[in-house]
Structure 1
Protein backbone atom coordinates (compact mmCIF):
# COMPACT_ATOMS: atom_id res chain seq x y z
CA UNK A 1 0.00 0.00 0.00
CA UNK A 2 1.58 3.35 -1.00
CA UNK A 3 2.05 5.95 1.69
CA UNK A 4 -0.16 9.05 1.48
CA UNK A 5 1.51 12.26 0.47
CA UNK A 6 1.89 13.34 4.09
CA UNK A 7 4.23 10.47 5.01
CA UNK A 8 7.10 11.72 2.87
CA UNK A 9 10.70 10.60 3.34
CA UNK A 10 13.49 13.02 2.66
CA UNK A 11 14.30 13.47 -1.07
CA UNK A 12 16.32 10.52 -2.37
CA UNK A 13 19.32 12.47 -3.57
CA UNK A 14 19.75 14.24 -0.24
CA UNK A 15 19.26 10.93 1.59
CA UNK A 16 22.19 9.37 -0.26
CA UNK A 17 24.49 12.24 0.66
CA UNK A 18 23.51 12.17 4.31
CA UNK A 19 23.63 8.38 4.61
CA UNK A 20 27.39 8.54 4.07
CA UNK A 21 27.77 10.80 7.11
CA UNK A 22 24.98 9.48 9.32
CA UNK A 23 26.08 7.62 12.44
CA UNK A 24 25.24 3.89 12.68
CA UNK A 25 23.05 4.62 15.70
CA UNK A 26 21.04 7.40 14.00
CA UNK A 27 17.64 7.75 15.67
CA UNK A 28 14.58 7.29 13.47
CA UNK A 29 12.43 10.37 14.16
CA UNK A 30 9.00 11.21 12.78
CA UNK A 31 8.28 14.94 12.52
CA UNK A 32 4.49 15.16 12.79
CA UNK A 33 2.83 18.36 11.54
CA UNK A 34 -0.42 18.47 13.46
CA UNK A 35 -2.43 21.26 11.81
CA UNK A 36 -4.58 20.58 8.76
CA UNK A 37 -6.15 24.04 8.58
CA UNK A 38 -6.05 25.88 5.25
CA UNK A 39 -3.64 28.81 5.41
CA UNK A 40 -1.86 27.24 8.38
CA UNK A 41 1.54 28.36 9.62
CA UNK A 42 2.43 24.75 10.43
CA UNK A 43 3.99 24.08 7.06
CA UNK A 44 6.44 26.96 7.37
CA UNK A 45 7.24 26.10 10.99
CA UNK A 46 7.77 22.44 10.14
CA UNK A 47 10.03 23.24 7.18
CA UNK A 48 12.10 25.68 9.26
CA UNK A 49 12.59 23.03 11.93
CA UNK A 50 13.33 20.08 9.66
CA UNK A 51 15.85 22.07 7.64
CA UNK A 52 17.86 22.54 10.84
CA UNK A 53 17.31 19.02 12.14
CA UNK A 54 18.57 17.57 8.85
CA UNK A 55 22.00 19.04 9.53
CA UNK A 56 22.55 16.45 12.25
CA UNK A 57 24.10 13.06 11.53
CA UNK A 58 22.48 11.34 14.54
CA UNK A 59 18.93 11.61 13.19
CA UNK A 60 17.04 9.88 10.39
CA UNK A 61 13.99 12.05 9.72
CA UNK A 62 10.61 11.36 8.15
CA UNK A 63 8.07 14.12 7.68
CA UNK A 64 4.54 13.01 8.58
CA UNK A 65 2.14 15.79 7.59
CA UNK A 66 -1.42 15.10 8.73
CA UNK A 67 -2.72 17.29 5.91
CA UNK A 68 -1.60 14.56 3.51
CA UNK A 69 -3.78 11.84 5.06
CA UNK A 70 -7.46 11.19 4.41
CA UNK A 71 -8.76 10.12 7.79
CA UNK A 72 -12.43 9.17 8.22
CA UNK A 73 -14.78 11.65 9.87
CA UNK A 74 -16.14 8.88 12.10
CA UNK A 75 -14.09 6.14 13.71
CA UNK A 76 -14.70 3.08 11.49
CA UNK A 77 -15.17 -0.52 12.59
CA UNK A 78 -11.98 -1.40 10.70
CA UNK A 79 -9.00 0.91 10.21
CA UNK A 80 -8.87 2.73 6.89
CA UNK A 81 -5.72 2.49 4.73
CA UNK A 82 -4.58 5.95 5.84
CA UNK A 83 -5.15 5.12 9.50
CA UNK A 84 -2.96 2.04 9.02
CA UNK A 85 -0.32 4.08 7.16
CA UNK A 86 -0.14 6.59 10.02
CA UNK A 87 0.16 3.86 12.64
CA UNK A 88 2.94 2.28 10.57
CA UNK A 89 4.83 5.58 10.69
CA UNK A 90 4.44 5.70 14.48
CA UNK A 91 5.57 2.09 14.83
CA UNK A 92 8.64 2.66 12.64
CA UNK A 93 9.81 5.75 14.51
CA UNK A 94 12.00 5.65 17.61
CA UNK A 95 11.16 9.22 18.58
CA UNK A 96 8.86 12.05 17.61
CA UNK A 97 8.82 15.80 17.14
CA UNK A 98 5.25 17.12 17.17
CA UNK A 99 4.70 20.46 15.45
CA UNK A 100 1.54 21.96 16.90
CA UNK A 101 -0.36 25.24 16.91
CA UNK A 102 -2.26 26.51 19.91
CA UNK A 103 -6.01 26.80 19.42
CA UNK A 104 -7.92 28.22 22.39
CA UNK A 105 -5.21 27.12 24.87
CA UNK A 106 -5.02 23.60 23.50
CA UNK A 107 -3.97 21.66 20.39
CA UNK A 108 -6.04 20.94 17.27
CA UNK A 109 -8.59 18.15 16.96
CA UNK A 110 -6.81 16.84 13.86
CA UNK A 111 -3.76 16.04 15.98
CA UNK A 112 -5.75 14.36 18.77
CA UNK A 113 -7.60 12.24 16.22
CA UNK A 114 -4.34 10.98 14.72
CA UNK A 115 -2.67 10.36 18.07
CA UNK A 116 -5.57 8.16 19.16
CA UNK A 117 -5.31 5.91 16.10
CA UNK A 118 -2.17 4.34 17.61
CA UNK A 119 -1.49 3.02 21.11
CA UNK A 120 1.18 0.36 21.57
CA UNK A 121 3.16 1.97 18.76
CA UNK A 122 3.88 5.02 20.96
CA UNK A 123 5.12 3.11 24.01
CA UNK A 124 8.56 3.77 25.53
CA UNK A 125 9.63 6.39 23.00
CA UNK A 126 10.52 10.08 23.47
CA UNK A 127 8.43 13.00 22.22
CA UNK A 128 9.56 16.60 21.70
CA UNK A 129 7.46 19.62 20.74
CA UNK A 130 7.74 22.54 18.34
CA UNK A 131 4.84 24.90 19.01
CA UNK A 132 3.53 28.18 17.71
CA UNK A 133 0.84 30.68 18.56
CA UNK A 134 0.24 34.29 19.50
CA UNK A 135 2.04 35.58 22.59
CA UNK A 136 2.17 32.21 24.40
CA UNK A 137 4.18 30.61 21.53
CA UNK A 138 1.95 27.54 21.81
CA UNK A 139 3.00 26.56 25.32
CA UNK A 140 -0.55 25.84 26.48
CA UNK A 141 -0.91 23.33 23.62
CA UNK A 142 2.33 21.65 24.66
CA UNK A 143 1.24 21.33 28.28
CA UNK A 144 -2.01 19.70 27.17
CA UNK A 145 -0.11 17.31 24.89
CA UNK A 146 2.24 16.28 27.69
CA UNK A 147 -0.70 14.78 29.58
CA UNK A 148 -1.90 12.93 26.50
CA UNK A 149 1.52 11.47 25.75
CA UNK A 150 2.07 10.49 29.38
CA UNK A 151 -1.05 8.34 29.09
CA UNK A 152 0.52 6.73 26.00
CA UNK A 153 3.61 5.68 27.99
CA UNK A 154 6.01 8.03 26.24
CA UNK A 155 8.72 10.27 27.68
CA UNK A 156 8.31 13.95 26.82
CA UNK A 157 11.56 15.89 26.79
CA UNK A 158 11.87 18.95 28.96
CA UNK A 159 13.03 21.53 26.41
CA UNK A 160 11.07 22.60 23.35
CA UNK A 161 10.94 25.20 20.60
CA UNK A 162 8.20 27.84 20.55
CA UNK A 163 7.32 30.63 18.11
CA UNK A 164 5.33 33.78 18.80
CA UNK A 165 3.65 34.42 15.47
CA UNK A 166 3.15 38.07 16.35
CA UNK A 167 6.87 38.43 15.60
CA UNK A 168 6.44 36.78 12.19
CA UNK A 169 6.98 33.32 10.76
CA UNK A 170 10.23 31.43 11.36
CA UNK A 171 12.90 32.38 8.87
CA UNK A 172 11.41 35.78 8.06
CA UNK A 173 13.95 38.63 8.16
CA UNK A 174 14.07 40.65 11.33
CA UNK A 175 12.80 38.07 13.82
CA UNK A 176 14.34 39.23 17.10
CA UNK A 177 14.71 35.76 18.64
CA UNK A 178 16.05 33.67 15.74
CA UNK A 179 19.40 32.96 17.41
CA UNK A 180 17.62 31.79 20.57
CA UNK A 181 15.33 29.59 18.47
CA UNK A 182 18.33 27.98 16.76
CA UNK A 183 19.86 27.20 20.15
CA UNK A 184 16.54 25.82 21.36
CA UNK A 185 16.45 23.38 18.43
CA UNK A 186 19.91 22.09 19.33
CA UNK A 187 19.11 21.65 23.02
CA UNK A 188 15.79 19.94 22.38
CA UNK A 189 17.24 17.51 19.84
CA UNK A 190 20.18 16.69 22.12
CA UNK A 191 17.67 15.61 24.76
CA UNK A 192 15.51 13.72 22.24
CA UNK A 193 18.51 11.74 20.97
CA UNK A 194 19.67 10.92 24.52
CA UNK A 195 16.26 9.58 25.51
CA UNK A 196 15.76 7.89 22.16
CA UNK A 197 18.97 5.91 22.37
CA UNK A 198 18.44 5.05 26.04
CA UNK A 199 14.90 3.82 25.40
CA UNK A 200 16.00 1.92 22.30
CA UNK A 201 18.51 0.06 24.46
CA UNK A 202 15.88 -0.55 27.13
CA UNK A 203 13.37 -2.00 24.64
CA UNK A 204 16.12 -4.25 23.26
CA UNK A 205 17.01 -5.63 26.70
CA UNK A 206 13.41 -6.26 27.77
CA UNK A 207 9.93 -5.70 26.30
CA UNK A 208 8.06 -2.70 27.68
CA UNK A 209 5.27 -3.68 30.09
CA UNK A 210 2.14 -1.53 30.49
Structure 2
Protein backbone atom coordinates (compact mmCIF):
# COMPACT_ATOMS: atom_id res chain seq x y z
CA UNK A 1 0.00 0.00 0.00
CA UNK A 2 2.81 2.39 0.92
CA UNK A 3 4.54 1.65 -2.39
CA UNK A 4 1.41 2.52 -4.38
CA UNK A 5 0.91 5.72 -2.39
CA UNK A 6 4.56 6.71 -2.91
CA UNK A 7 4.31 5.99 -6.66
CA UNK A 8 1.13 8.05 -6.95
CA UNK A 9 2.70 10.92 -5.00
CA UNK A 10 5.81 10.78 -7.21
CA UNK A 11 3.66 10.92 -10.35
CA UNK A 12 1.76 13.95 -9.03
CA UNK A 13 5.01 15.77 -8.18
CA UNK A 14 6.60 14.98 -11.57
CA UNK A 15 3.42 15.94 -13.43
CA UNK A 16 3.11 19.19 -11.46
CA UNK A 17 6.76 20.16 -12.05
CA UNK A 18 6.44 19.40 -15.77
CA UNK A 19 3.29 21.52 -16.05
CA UNK A 20 4.99 24.31 -14.11
CA UNK A 21 7.97 24.18 -16.49
CA UNK A 22 5.64 24.20 -19.53
CA UNK A 23 3.70 27.17 -18.10
CA UNK A 24 6.96 29.02 -17.37
CA UNK A 25 8.08 28.31 -20.94
CA UNK A 26 4.85 29.68 -22.42
CA UNK A 27 4.98 32.79 -20.23
CA UNK A 28 8.63 33.47 -21.10
CA UNK A 29 7.94 32.92 -24.82
CA UNK A 30 5.12 35.47 -24.73
CA UNK A 31 7.43 38.00 -23.03
CA UNK A 32 10.15 37.39 -25.63
CA UNK A 33 7.69 37.75 -28.52
CA UNK A 34 6.20 40.94 -27.01
CA UNK A 35 9.67 42.43 -26.55
CA UNK A 36 10.34 41.80 -30.26
CA UNK A 37 6.94 43.26 -31.20
CA UNK A 38 7.66 46.39 -29.13
CA UNK A 39 11.31 46.56 -30.24
CA UNK A 40 12.36 46.56 -26.57
CA UNK A 41 16.00 45.63 -27.13
CA UNK A 42 16.89 45.69 -23.40
CA UNK A 43 14.19 43.10 -22.63
CA UNK A 44 15.12 41.01 -25.69
CA UNK A 45 18.71 40.96 -24.43
CA UNK A 46 17.63 40.12 -20.85
CA UNK A 47 15.53 37.19 -22.11
CA UNK A 48 18.22 35.93 -24.52
CA UNK A 49 20.49 33.01 -23.72
CA UNK A 50 23.28 34.47 -21.54
CA UNK A 51 26.17 32.66 -23.25
CA UNK A 52 24.88 33.90 -26.63
CA UNK A 53 24.74 37.48 -25.33
CA UNK A 54 28.26 37.05 -23.94
CA UNK A 55 29.52 35.59 -27.24
CA UNK A 56 28.06 38.35 -29.40
CA UNK A 57 28.43 41.12 -26.80
CA UNK A 58 25.47 42.95 -25.24
CA UNK A 59 26.05 46.26 -27.05
CA UNK A 60 26.76 44.54 -30.38
CA UNK A 61 23.61 42.41 -30.03
CA UNK A 62 21.49 45.47 -29.35
CA UNK A 63 23.03 47.32 -32.31
CA UNK A 64 22.32 44.31 -34.55
CA UNK A 65 18.72 44.18 -33.32
CA UNK A 66 18.26 47.91 -33.87
CA UNK A 67 19.74 47.70 -37.36
CA UNK A 68 17.54 44.72 -38.29
CA UNK A 69 14.40 46.59 -37.20
CA UNK A 70 15.25 50.04 -38.52
CA UNK A 71 17.96 51.32 -40.78
CA UNK A 72 18.43 53.80 -43.63
CA UNK A 73 16.64 51.48 -46.06
CA UNK A 74 13.58 50.15 -44.19
CA UNK A 75 11.68 49.71 -40.91
CA UNK A 76 10.68 46.15 -39.95
CA UNK A 77 7.62 45.61 -37.74
CA UNK A 78 5.83 42.55 -36.39
CA UNK A 79 2.21 42.88 -37.51
CA UNK A 80 0.38 41.01 -34.74
CA UNK A 81 0.63 41.88 -31.06
CA UNK A 82 0.13 38.30 -29.89
CA UNK A 83 0.42 34.95 -31.52
CA UNK A 84 -0.38 31.31 -30.66
CA UNK A 85 2.85 29.34 -30.23
CA UNK A 86 3.58 25.81 -31.33
CA UNK A 87 5.97 24.16 -28.90
CA UNK A 88 7.75 20.93 -29.54
CA UNK A 89 8.36 18.54 -26.69
CA UNK A 90 10.76 19.82 -24.02
CA UNK A 91 13.95 17.81 -24.50
CA UNK A 92 16.58 17.18 -21.85
CA UNK A 93 20.10 16.84 -23.22
CA UNK A 94 22.69 16.42 -20.49
CA UNK A 95 21.99 19.05 -17.82
CA UNK A 96 20.11 21.33 -20.20
CA UNK A 97 16.48 21.48 -21.29
CA UNK A 98 15.52 22.72 -24.76
CA UNK A 99 12.30 23.51 -26.54
CA UNK A 100 11.83 24.64 -30.14
CA UNK A 101 8.98 27.15 -30.34
CA UNK A 102 7.49 28.43 -33.57
CA UNK A 103 4.66 30.66 -34.68
CA UNK A 104 3.29 32.27 -37.79
CA UNK A 105 4.62 35.78 -37.63
CA UNK A 106 3.67 38.17 -40.43
CA UNK A 107 5.98 41.17 -40.68
CA UNK A 108 6.02 44.34 -42.72
CA UNK A 109 9.00 46.10 -44.25
CA UNK A 110 8.32 49.83 -44.72
CA UNK A 111 10.82 51.33 -47.16
CA UNK A 112 12.07 54.86 -46.53
CA UNK A 113 12.49 55.80 -50.20
CA UNK A 114 9.67 55.34 -52.70
CA UNK A 115 10.34 52.14 -54.65
CA UNK A 116 9.72 51.86 -58.37
CA UNK A 117 8.04 48.71 -59.70
CA UNK A 118 11.46 47.42 -60.85
CA UNK A 119 13.10 48.11 -57.48
CA UNK A 120 10.24 46.40 -55.65
CA UNK A 121 10.48 43.37 -57.94
CA UNK A 122 14.21 43.15 -57.24
CA UNK A 123 13.62 43.21 -53.45
CA UNK A 124 11.10 40.33 -53.44
CA UNK A 125 13.63 37.46 -53.89
CA UNK A 126 15.90 39.03 -51.25
CA UNK A 127 13.07 39.21 -48.72
CA UNK A 128 11.97 35.68 -49.63
CA UNK A 129 15.48 34.38 -48.88
CA UNK A 130 15.93 36.38 -45.65
CA UNK A 131 12.54 35.31 -44.30
CA UNK A 132 12.53 31.73 -45.68
CA UNK A 133 9.17 32.19 -47.37
CA UNK A 134 7.72 32.65 -50.83
CA UNK A 135 4.82 34.74 -49.51
CA UNK A 136 6.07 38.32 -50.04
CA UNK A 137 3.70 40.96 -51.41
CA UNK A 138 4.59 44.52 -52.36
CA UNK A 139 1.98 47.15 -51.51
CA UNK A 140 2.81 50.28 -53.56
CA UNK A 141 0.41 52.63 -51.72
CA UNK A 142 2.16 51.87 -48.43
CA UNK A 143 5.61 51.49 -50.03
CA UNK A 144 5.98 48.31 -48.03
CA UNK A 145 6.21 44.55 -48.26
CA UNK A 146 3.86 42.25 -46.39
CA UNK A 147 5.77 39.07 -45.51
CA UNK A 148 3.96 36.00 -44.22
CA UNK A 149 6.55 33.89 -42.46
CA UNK A 150 7.14 31.55 -39.56
CA UNK A 151 9.42 32.45 -36.69
CA UNK A 152 11.45 29.93 -34.72
CA UNK A 153 12.77 30.47 -31.22
CA UNK A 154 14.92 28.05 -29.26
CA UNK A 155 14.27 28.12 -25.51
CA UNK A 156 17.07 26.87 -23.23
CA UNK A 157 16.95 26.15 -19.51
CA UNK A 158 20.24 25.45 -17.74
CA UNK A 159 22.54 26.60 -14.94
CA UNK A 160 23.35 29.86 -16.78
CA UNK A 161 19.72 31.00 -17.13
CA UNK A 162 19.03 31.65 -13.42
CA UNK A 163 16.03 29.32 -13.22
CA UNK A 164 14.33 30.87 -16.27
CA UNK A 165 13.93 29.98 -19.91
CA UNK A 166 16.24 31.99 -22.19
CA UNK A 167 16.01 32.31 -25.96
CA UNK A 168 17.67 32.35 -29.32
CA UNK A 169 15.71 33.95 -32.16
CA UNK A 170 16.72 31.62 -34.99
CA UNK A 171 15.37 34.08 -37.60
CA UNK A 172 18.38 36.25 -36.74
CA UNK A 173 21.50 35.02 -38.58
CA UNK A 174 23.83 36.26 -35.81
CA UNK A 175 21.90 34.41 -33.10
CA UNK A 176 21.64 31.28 -35.25
CA UNK A 177 25.41 31.36 -35.80
CA UNK A 178 25.98 31.77 -32.04
CA UNK A 179 23.70 28.78 -31.38
CA UNK A 180 25.73 26.65 -33.79
CA UNK A 181 28.94 27.77 -32.07
CA UNK A 182 27.70 27.14 -28.53
CA UNK A 183 26.07 23.73 -29.05
CA UNK A 184 27.60 20.67 -30.64
CA UNK A 185 26.34 19.01 -33.79
CA UNK A 186 24.69 16.18 -31.84
CA UNK A 187 22.53 18.66 -29.87
CA UNK A 188 21.65 20.51 -33.07
CA UNK A 189 20.62 17.25 -34.73
CA UNK A 190 18.55 16.03 -31.75
CA UNK A 191 16.68 19.38 -31.79
CA UNK A 192 16.16 19.16 -35.56
CA UNK A 193 18.21 22.34 -36.06
CA UNK A 194 21.31 20.91 -37.73
CA UNK A 195 22.73 22.21 -41.02
Q: Pick the TM interval, shorter chain.
A: under 0.3
Higher strand share: 2
Higher helix share: 2
Taking structure 1 as the reference length, the TM-score comes to 0.25
Taking structure 2 as the reference length, the TM-score comes to 0.26
